[in-house]
Structures are given as C-alpha cells and as structure tokens.
Amino acid sequence: MRNLARVVSQYRSHLRPVRESRSISFVSRRYLVERERRMNARIDRFSPASFTISRAMSADPVEIPSAEVSGDRGGPLVEYERRIGVGELMDGDLCQLGTLRELQRLYDELVEKSDECRLDRYATSEKTKRSRWLWSRFLPQSMHSPVKGLYLYGGVGTGKTMLMDLFYDQLPCTWRKKRIHFHDFMLNVHSRLQRHKGVSDPLEVVAGEISDEAILLCLDEFMVTDVADALILNRLFGQLFNNGVILVATSNRAPDNLYEGGLQRDLFLPFIATVKERCIVHEIGSSVDYRKMTSGEQGFYLVGLDLSGVLKATFQQLVGEHKPRPQEVEVVMGRKLRVPLGANGCAYFTFEDLCNRPLGAADYFGLFKKFHTLALDGIPIFGLHNRTAAYRFVTLIDVMYENKARLLCTAEGSPYELFERIVTVSDAKQMAPRTSSRSRKNDDLDLCVDNELGFAKDRTISRLTEINSKEYLEQHAAMLAEKQRFVQ
C-alpha cells in the first residue's frame, strides 16, 4: 500500500478534478411531445456538419516533467498521465494505477526483449520463416516466449478495454501485433479452418498463420459461450504459445470461471491451466462503472413499444435526402445478411428481424462494417421465454460497441429493466423460497436462471447506458466528420 500511495502522490499534481456526473434517466410515454421536440434539436446537434470537438479532446498536451520520467521512457503509464493532464481521461483510481503498473512492466519487458521475442516484422525474413516452418516438420520443438502475457479481468466499466488499447497504442508500429475483439478473433479462426479443410491438421496451419502475422495478440472481452470454441481453444493456444505468441486479454471473468457450466467443460479445463501458465493474471477490482459516469438524456433510447412512429421519423431525418431501401451485406464464408431498410450509413431493423432469427456475431460484424447507425424497433423485456434472443442481443451490443456505432431504439423498459428477470444461479439461491403464504400465481414463471447470460447482462446494461450518453454521441459524430473529411 505504501508503494501504491507513492505512485498516486507522484501523479496527483497533474490530475484534474472531475465534474460531478448527472444521473441517467430514460424516456417515458408522458414525455412524448417534449421528447419529439428535443429529438429534432439533438439530431442537428450530433450531425457531423454541426459537431465541434469538446475542450477536453482538443486541449494542448501537457508536458510531463522530466523528473517524473527517467530518460526517454515511454509506455502506457506515461501516456495515461498525459491523457489525464489534458482532460481526456478521468482521475484514475488505485485499481487502475495498479493495472497500469502491470501493463508498464509488460511494455518494458517487451521493449527489452523484442529481438528475442521476434516482434519486429522486418527483422524476420520470409526465408527464415519458411526455414523455421520446414524444420518444425521434422524437429517439433517449443518456442515459448521469454515474456509472459497478461490476463486482465474485472467488473463492467472498470476500464479494461481502455487500458489495453492505451497499452497497445504505445507499441512500435513495426511490431507483429494485433488487437481484436474475441468474437471477431474466433470468427476469423473458424473461417481459416474452413479454408484449410482437407489438410491433415488444419488447426496447426491456422495457428502458424496467426503467429506469423502477430506475435503479440491482444484479445478484448474474452468470453467463451460456444461449445465449438471451447473444444478448440486448448489446442489452438497450445500451438500459438509454442510458436512464441504472447497473449494480452481482457475479460469480465477470472480464468477459472471461464465457460462455467458449459458442455464438456472438462475438455476445456486444460486451456485454463495453459492461460495461467503463460499469462500473469491480474484483477481490476474497481467498484466504479466509468461508463455510467456520463451525462444522460442525450441519446435516442425510447421507452415504450408504441413509439415506433417516432423511431421511423428519426431514422428518416438521419438519412436525409437518401431513400431507404432493402439492401444486403456480405458476411463471412459467402453468406449475406438482408437489411430491411438502409441508406446513408443507417440501417433499420425490427428486433424480430435481427435477434429472433438464427444470426450471430459474424452477421453483426458484417452489418457494422457497412452501417454506422442502427435503428432497432421493439426490444422486449427478456426472460425464460426469449433467452436465445437475449443472447443474440448481448452479442449485438458487444459488436456495436466494438465498432463505435450509434443506436436508435424503442424498448419495453430501461436497460436495467430489460434484464431484470435474468439471474445467475447464485442470485436465484438468494431469492426467498416459496412459502405456504405465497400463491403459485405470484411466482415469476418467466425468471431465467442462466449463469453466462446473468453474468453478461451487467456489461450490456453498462454499454447501453454509455451508447446513449452525450460523450459517446459526440465521439460518434467526430468519427463521421473525420470520415467525410477524408472522402472529400
């Protein structure tokens, strides 16, 4: 604690006070008239033409005193301090500082042993790669990296993704590195396996391809729910680690809790042991959800399933003079996703079309590669009767958040209310058991006891809240403005 306090005191002089966040509220029917008036104003406000970058994002960088940085030392800890100094980040808590020390340790080790780890893409010729591959056919050998990776886990909104991205952005651009969402990574793996179908060991070939492209692999939101993924992860990462790959991962779950209660989990357990052997496991124990510390009442989240007309009118205003029409988007392995209405980067779906059909992460990634805004009509309250749709909705929000897309929607309740009936086994055990004084009619027969979904709901609630915040919409408008400027 004494050392950690010293780290805080070193950087305290540059930390700015944070304004008190306002509480977040959502729309109700009785405010419909006022909401429509304000909606038009917000559409203009968050359009790229009228957007101006906030003071915090445009402030000049603050020079860090040389006394606090030895030599030319760089890395995530220094960059974190700079961003706090210019107001881009809030004052970090002790848990984030502890995580930054782990990331800085990894950064320093990688810089020191970059040659030994074969990180520089230009230092290893194609001839050397082919020679290494040829000898490995005859003399299989382990080439574990001398540097251990890092597995970060913690509650929702604690800054895991932000910290990993901050670390990743400080690494030299010449390094063989890759940062990707876990869903996207596994889709890529399955696509490669399909391409190498018929080879004696396609998984070994795929692992070789991945490790040739990236020695440092950063996976965000590590969450295993699919039995097909669970069954190949141990062999896949066994090969990757043997090829010298270094893993940096973020997750809501500790390694021991991954794929908890999943089918054939005994076959998955060796993977957990492998991750713990090749990575330092670190928990971010912050109790703060930074996503919810944003200003609310700025988004397009409409509570009330009778507000479809308002949603369609808002969608029409966003597409402007363009005429919405049915479209198709390419998905992996030659599949196509039909978009009921799309124009000017905006897509319109009913919840039934997007989450009550057999779609998955691949379809959603394909959708957001073409569209930056989604209008989703009719999000229901989730329970036992629509558990599968709830899983798809969780995946949809994950992919949307990863792609920094904008959401317009109508929903039966607030984000919290949507998942109120989804509980974990532990939550269910804490609920009061039925007694003779309680009638069967009063029981909630739609209660869904599901560990994976119950664990994921907090992340989805948090992300829905952030997606509808002023700050998120400003960043989205800035992104669109930058794209338009680049096109012109």
Q: What value does the mean pLDDT take over residues 364-392?
A: 95
Tell which residue, 139, 103, 161, has the closest CA to residue 282: 103
Q: Which three-class secondary structure state does DSSP give residue 69?
A: coil
Task: Take residue 25 and report the two structure tokens written for it.
Answer: 């509220």
Beta strands in 183-262 (DSSP E): 216-220, 246-251
Sheet holding 300-303, edge to edge: 300-303, 406-411, 373-379, 346-350, 336-343, 325-330
**94 pLDDT tier (thresholds 50, 70, 90):** low
* Beta-strand relationship, 336-343 and 346-350: antiparallel
Q: What value does the mean pLDDT take over residues 361-383?
A: 94
**What integer best gives the mean pLDDT of the chain?**
78
User: How far is it, in rounded angstroms, from Cα 450 to Cα 385?
Assistant: 13
**466 pLDDT tier (thresholds 50, 70, 90):** confident
Q: Is the pLDDT of residue 21 over 60?
A: no
Tell which residue, 365, 452, 467, has the closest CA to residue 407: 467
User: How far is it, in rounded angstroms, from Cα 454 to Cα 383?
Assistant: 11
Q: What value does the mean pLDDT take over residues 377-405?
A: 94
Looking up tokens 């990894």 gives 106
Q: What is the dihedral of CA 38, 41, 42, 46, to 10 degrees?
A: 180
Question: Which range has the top average pLDDT, 138-152, 357-371, 428-442, 445-459?
Answer: 357-371
Q: Which H helix or E strand runs over 326?
A: strand 325-330
Q: Which three-class secondary structure state does DSSP give residue 401?
A: helix
* Beta-strand relationship, 325-330 and 336-343: antiparallel
**What is the per-residue pLDDT for 158?**
72
User: How far is it, in rounded angstroms, from Cα 463 to Cα 291?
Assistant: 7
Question: CA gyration radius for the chain?
Answer: 24
Sign of CA dihedral 11, 17, 20, 26: negative
User: Which of 12-21, 139-148, 436-445, 456-465 comes out lowest in average pLDDT?
Assistant: 12-21
Q: What value does the mean pLDDT take over residues 424-430?
A: 78
Q: Which H helix or E strand runs over 302?
A: strand 300-303
User: Which of 48-57, 243-252, 423-432 comes out lowest in average pLDDT?
Assistant: 48-57
User: How far is it, in rounded angstroms, from Cα 369 to Cα 360?
Assistant: 15
**What is the per-residue pLDDT for 353?**
95
Query: pLDDT tens-digit profile of 295-349?
Result: 444 468 888 888 899 999 999 999 989 999 999 998 877 789 999 999 999 999 9
Cα–Cα separations (whole angstroms), residue 118 to 15, 27, 143, 267, 294: 37, 54, 11, 32, 42
Q: Is the pLDDT of residue 375 over 50?
A: yes
For residue 197, give every residue at least 6 positions away whose Cβ sits within 8 Å of its Cβ, in sequence order, or none: none
Q: Is the pLDDT of residue 457 over 50?
A: yes
The DSSP line for 143-193 is: ---SS-EEEEEESTTSSHHHHHHHHHHTS-TTB-EEEEEHHHHHHHHHHHH
Tell which residue, 94, 85, 102, 213, has the closest CA to residue 148: 102
Query: pLDDT tens-digit profile of 228-264?
Result: 888 899 999 999 999 999 999 999 889 998 988 788 8
Q: In degrees rounded to 5, what are phi and psi of residue 295? A: -80, 130
**Burial environment of residue 282 by CB neighbours within 10 A (0 to 12, 13 to 18, 19 or more):** middle
Q: Is the pLDDT of residue 281 over 50?
A: yes
* Beta-strand relationship, 300-303 and 325-330: unpaired
Question: Which range has the top average pLDDT, 67-76, 100-109, 219-228, 448-457?
Answer: 100-109
Tell which residue, 34, 42, 29, has the closest CA to residue 408: 42
Q: Is the pLDDT of residue 106 over 90?
A: yes
Look up residue 297 and give its DSSP letter: S
Q: Is the pLDDT of residue 411 over 70?
A: yes
**What is the per-residue pLDDT for 439?**
39
Question: Which range has the top average pLDDT, 48-52, 194-198, 293-297, 395-399?
Answer: 395-399
Q: What is the dihedral of CA 407, 409, 413, 418, to 10 degrees?
A: -60
Sign of CA dihedral 207, 208, 213, 214: positive
Residue pair 27/301 in contact (Cβ under 8 Å)? The answer is yes
Q: Is the pLDDT of residue 23 over 70?
A: no
More confident residue, 403 or 297: 403
Q: Is the pLDDT of residue 396 over 80?
A: yes
Please count the helices (runs of H) and the strands (runs of E) in the chain: 19, 13
Q: What value does the mean pLDDT take over residues 403-419?
A: 92
For residue 130, give every residue at least 6 positions away whose Cβ sits within 8 Å of its Cβ, in sequence order, or none: none
Q: Which three-class secondary structure state does DSSP give residue 264?
A: coil
Task: Take residue 136 and report the two structure tokens written for it.
Answer: 């490995």
Task: Take residue 473 and report the two structure tokens written for it.
Answer: 């919409």
Residue pair 148/278 in contact (Cβ under 8 Å)? The answer is yes
Query: pLDDT tens-digit profile of 4-16?
Result: 444 444 444 443 3
Percentage of the chain lying above the pLDDT 90 cut: 42
More confident residue, 330 or 94: 330
Q: Is the pLDDT of residue 39 over 80?
A: no
More confident residue, 115 or 288: 115
User: Which of 174-183, 209-218, 220-229, 365-374 comes out lowest in average pLDDT?
Assistant: 220-229
Beta strands in 37-79 (DSSP E): none
